[in-house]
Each structure stands twice: as structure tokens, then as C-alpha cells.
């Protein structure tokens, strides 16, 4: 058994407490059950004070002696047992591996514990929310996706890494970036810039924007995966770095920003550990076409799905600020959207040398 750190010990204790509660029910002659917070839109609310999407207090009971619930009851403990084994061994594995680790036939039957990974993934989320532990604290990871560079030293699984010397590809952000894996060292960064697209991030890296500006640039290649969201949240909360978000001027870009800022409906139970309520949207804005003299032929016509999504966003509580209403309404009115690459029409390095420096100088962002 590996030596457990404080976080691992706490997570194991949570798993054991869950098991002990069921054992007490069995010994007491009662129908054992699990109590799991409901993960649905009906059980989600926006907390305006914290500026986070949160789960409400609705819970469901999953009983063992219930034909419709017994299998999921069993699956939950299969997954929790596998996670405890991983933690005890000091090893991590992918959610795909976990599916195979826990898949087997039930007794002499042809019935499997899990038929597809689509069955095991929701059980992992159930366990997370039931014991209030991140998936990463259960020693599980998804595929890593993201790159980061900047004036910061870190330790990754014991290896010292200088993020100033990561070449053209940057440091590959792993799925698990908790304190027991990634520790922050010396930092000269003034802020974090999250960039939606890898191609645009590469422009910022090649132009050494991060060295000139003393900032950390990170990309999640579209919607940031959990590892990227968590590392950005840690940089903000632990190092006190402001976070700016640079995305396309379309409903999807606005959604990426909103998920980083106050969390997502699907992962509302993790908002406190994933979201950055003070994150600032620094572009691309619906008003940048005129402000930065972009030619009309670089715009893209919004389709019906874009239009419907933008109008839907107008009703979201976190977009009720008048400035955001004006921003989204202008997109709907114009019927146009813009990719960050459209700024290259003004010059290959216009975005790094003129556009973003001016935005920062003028404090031209939305919150």
C-alpha cells in the first residue's frame, strides 16, 4: 500500500463512511440505501452572491431491495471499491480503464455489471457528488487536453518544470492537477489568459506575448476540460492572478466563458472548485468590428441554431447585466459572428501586438 497524503486519506474516509452507513442499515435489518443529490436542471440554481451555479438540496434515495435501483446501487459500490484500491496503491487510471476494471459477469448469469462505458461514467459522477470529492481525488482522469506557458515554475509529479522553457507546444496540462500532483513554485505572472483556440494560442506563444506581458497563456482547445479549468481556478485562488478569457464572438465562445466563470449545469456540484467568478471576458466582442475596423467579408452569418442559442442566453441569470444584454443583443441584431482569426485580416500579429494590448490598456472587458 502506498503512503497516503492528507487528501487521499480524507477521500478514503469518505468512501468508508459511505460503506459503513450501508452496513449499519443491513445489521439493523433495514433496506440499505444511498442518498445522492439530484443532478438535473430542476435541482440547479444560480447563486448571485457567489456568482456560481450550484446544486440545490434535492436528493434521491437509491435502495438495494428495489428492482429498478439494485443494479445502480451495486455499480456505485463497485466503482467506489475500485477507486479505494487505486488510492491505496497510489495509482491513477482513466475512466475508460475503470469501466473495464469493474466490468464482469454476475455469478453464473450472462448479465454484466456494466454493458457500456455510458453506464459507468454517470456512476462516477454519482459517487463524486455523494461523497463530495472531485473525480481527480478518486484517482481517475479523462484524456488530457490543453497547453500552458508563462513565467511560472511548477512541480509536476515531483519533476521541476520551468514553464518559460516549453518550446512551441507548451506544457501539456494533465487531467489531474490537484495539489498532490502539481505544485506552484516561483511566479512572475501578472495574470492568466485563457485562449479558446489552439491556433490562436500558438500565435501568442510564437510572438512571446507571455514574456512581454508577464502572463500565463493557456488553452483548452475549445471548451476547456476539467484539468484546464481546475488549473486556472487554482492559479486564480492560490496565486491571486486575474483571469481573462479570449474566445470567438459567437454563442459557443460566450458559453465557454460562462462555464469558466460560474460553472456548468452538468457539473454544478463542482463549481466551487472549477469556476472563477471574477473571470473577465476580453473578446472577441460584438462591437469590435467597428472599433478595430474589421472588413465585412470576415464575418460569418449566424444560422438558426446560433440565433436561438444567443436568445436563450439573454434569459440566463448570469447574463442579466445590462452590458452583457447589450453585447448579446448586438450579435442577434447584426446576425453576424466572428472568429478570433478574423483579426489576422489586420495583420498576422495584430491580435498580440495591438488588439489585446489595447483591450487591457483601456480595461475594455466584460465581467
Q: Residue 54: beta bridge partners?
A: 45
Reply yes or no on whether 100 is catalytic. Answer: yes
Known binding residue 196? Answer is yes
**Grid cell digits, residue 335:** 446576425
Cα atoms in the 13 Å half-sphere on the side-chain side of 119: 17
CA torsion angle 273 274 276 280 (round to 10): 170
| Catalytic, out of 63, 100, 257, 338 | 100
SS (H, E, C) 194-230: EECCHHHHHHHHHCCHHHHHCEEEEECCCCCCHHHHH
Q: Residue 183: beta bridge partners?
A: 155
Nearest one of 223, 240, 243, 134 to 179, comparing CA atoms? 134
Kindly give, in sequence order, each residue whose CB lies less than 8 Å from that of residue 131, ignoring residues fewer than 6 positions away.
Answer: 11, 14, 15, 17, 18
Known binding residue 248? Answer is yes
> How many Å apart are CA 134 and CA 230, to the nearest integer?
10
> How many Å apart are CA 194 and CA 217, to the nearest integer?
6
Determine contact, residues 265/181, Cβ cutoff 8 Å: no
Binding annotation = 196, 248
Active centre residues (catalytic):
100
Binding annotation for Mg(2+) = 196, 248
Amino acid at each position: 500500500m502506498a503512503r497516503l497524503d492528507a487528501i487521499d486519506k480524507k477521500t478514503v474516509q469518505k468512501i468508508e463512511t459511505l460503506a459503513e452507513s450501508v452496513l449499519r442499515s443491513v445489521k439493523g435489518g433495514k433496506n440499505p440505501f444511498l442518498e445522492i443529490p439530484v443532478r438535473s436542471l430542476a435541482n440547479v440554481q444560480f447563486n448571485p452572491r457567489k456568482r456560481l451555479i450550484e446544486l440545490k438540496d434535492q436528493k434521491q434515495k437509491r435502495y438495494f431491495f428495489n428492482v429498478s435501483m439494485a443494479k445502480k446501487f451495486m455499480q456505485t459500490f463497485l466503482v467506489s471499491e475500485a477507486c479505494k484500491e487505486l488510492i491505496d496503491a497510489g495509482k491513477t487510471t482513466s475512466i475508460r480503464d475503470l469501466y473495464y476494471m469493474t466490468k464482469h459477469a454476475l455469478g453464473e448469469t450472462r448479465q454484466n455489471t456494466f454493458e457500456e462505458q455510458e453506464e459507468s461514467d454517470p456512476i462516477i459522477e454519482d459517487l463524486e457528488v455523494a461523497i463530495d470529492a472531485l473525480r481527480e481525488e478518486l484517482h481517475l482522469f479523462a484524456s488530457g487536453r490543453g497547453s500552458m506557458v508563462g513565467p511560472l515554475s511548477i512541480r509536476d509529479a515531483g519533476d521541476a518544470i520551468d514553464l518559460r522553457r516549453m518550446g512551441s507546444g507548451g506544457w501539456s496540462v494533465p487531467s489531474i492537477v490537484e495539489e498532490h500532483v502539481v505544485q506552484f513554485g516561483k511566479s512572475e505572472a501578472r495574470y492568466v489568459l485563457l485562449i479558446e483556440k489552439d491556433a490562436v494560442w500558438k500565435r501568442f506563444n510564437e510572438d512571446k506575448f507571455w514574456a512581454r506581458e508577464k502572463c500565463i497563456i493557456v488553452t483548452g482547445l475549445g471548451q476547456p476540460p476539467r484539468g484546464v479549468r481546475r488549473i486556472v481556478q487554482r492559479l486564480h485562488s492560490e496565486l491571486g492572478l486575474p483571469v481573462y478569457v479570449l474566445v470567438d464572438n459567437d454563442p459557443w465562445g460566450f458559453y465557454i466563458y460562462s462555464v469558466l466563470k460560474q460553472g456548468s449545469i452538468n457539473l454544478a456540484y463542482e463549481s466551487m472548485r472549477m469556476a472563477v467568478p471574477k473571470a473577465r471576458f476580453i473578446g472577441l466582442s460584438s462591437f469590435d468590428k467597428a472599433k478595430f475596423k474589421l472588413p465585412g467579408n470576415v464575418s460569418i452569418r449566424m444560422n438558426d441554431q446560433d440565433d436561438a442559442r444567443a436568445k436563450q442566453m439573454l434569459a440566463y441569470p448570469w447574463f442579466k447585466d445590462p452590458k452583457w444584454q447589450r453585447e448579446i443583443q448586438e450579435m442577434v441584431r447584426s446576425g453576424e459572428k466572428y472568429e478570433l482569426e478574423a483579426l489576422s485580416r489586420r495583420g498576422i500579429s495584430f491580435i498580440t501586438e495591438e488588439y489585446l494590448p489595447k483591450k487591457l490598456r483601456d480595461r475594455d472587458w466584460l465581467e
